Amino acid sequence: MQKQDLLSFSVSSLCRGMDVLVLRDMLEAVSYRIVSKQKGSVVLSAGSRYNELHILLEGTVQAVMDHENGKSVLIESIEAPDPIAPAILFAPRQVLPVTVLAESDCRILVLPLETVLDLCQKNRRFLINFLTEIGGKLSLFAEKFKLLEFSSLRRRIAVFLSDRLEQGTYTLPFPKEKLAEYLSVARPSLSRELSEMVSEGILKIEGRTITVLNQEKFKTLLME
């Protein structure tokens, strides 16, 4: 494995707390391959069997779900050096529910299932990281689908913030594009709703920091 690819893999969530030299020695004893994908190409197709773990070393991909009406819904954006759909690797049917598209030119580390099992058996830290990654993804999607119960975007915003506010303030750890994706809406729709909540004096937004100015109105949104 090239030095840059090894360094990219070593800073992924799956290798957190692992020594890069130990990781290099582990990879020398297992099977893997690295593939490149051009921007706009299909990385993985919905309905295909997913029995190899794909980990982005460079670039960004989008996981989209196609509907019968012809529209595609963005489920998740994944950036290097994150893994793609790690939980599906151990699902009973190993069938990918989304199509993964390259949003930019990408380099991807592909680990067969047997290789993942070998790495988990040989290194406890890798095993813990892998289980933590799966647990985090499941928790994320559980909350995401919970928010979809609310038809009102304004209420989704309020519920999202209510779980994270500290003394009435929350600083987004990611761009607003990610928040729009998390709330399953288009970025313009989110920007418009946030602007209206600011103009009504409910929120104050400075950069990524959101502050609730009117607690009474905010609580009313949660109780609707």
Give the CATH number, domain containing residue 213.
1.10.10.10
Are 161 and 117 part of one and the same domain?
A: no
**CATH number of the domain residue 107 falls in:** 2.60.120.10
Predicted local distance difference test score (pLDDT) of residue 136? 86
| Domain that includes residue 190, residue range | 153-223
Q: Pick the more confident residue, 128 or 156.
A: 128
pLDDT at 55 exceeding the cut of 80 = yes
pLDDT at 147 exceeding the cut of 80 = no
Are 143 and 45 part of one and the same domain?
A: yes
Q: What is the pLDDT of residues 7-22, one digit of tens each?
A: 999 999 999 999 999 9
Are 32 and 135 part of one and the same domain?
A: yes
CA distances from 17 to 26, 79, 81, 140, 183 (A): 15, 20, 15, 23, 31
Among 128, 208, 138, which residue's Cα sits nearest to residue 174?
208
Are 25 and 127 part of one and the same domain?
A: yes
Instruction: Give CA–CA dist 223/213, Å, rounded.
Output: 17
| pTM for this predicted structure | 0.73
Q: Where is the domain boundary, 118, 147, 176?
A: 147
Are 112 and 160 part of one and the same domain?
A: no
pLDDT at 67 exceeding the cut of 70 = no
Give me the percent of the chain exceeding a pLDDT of 70.
Answer: 96
Predicted local distance difference test score (pLDDT) of residue 125? 96
pLDDT at 180 exceeding the cut of 90 = no
Are 170 and 81 part of one and the same domain?
A: no
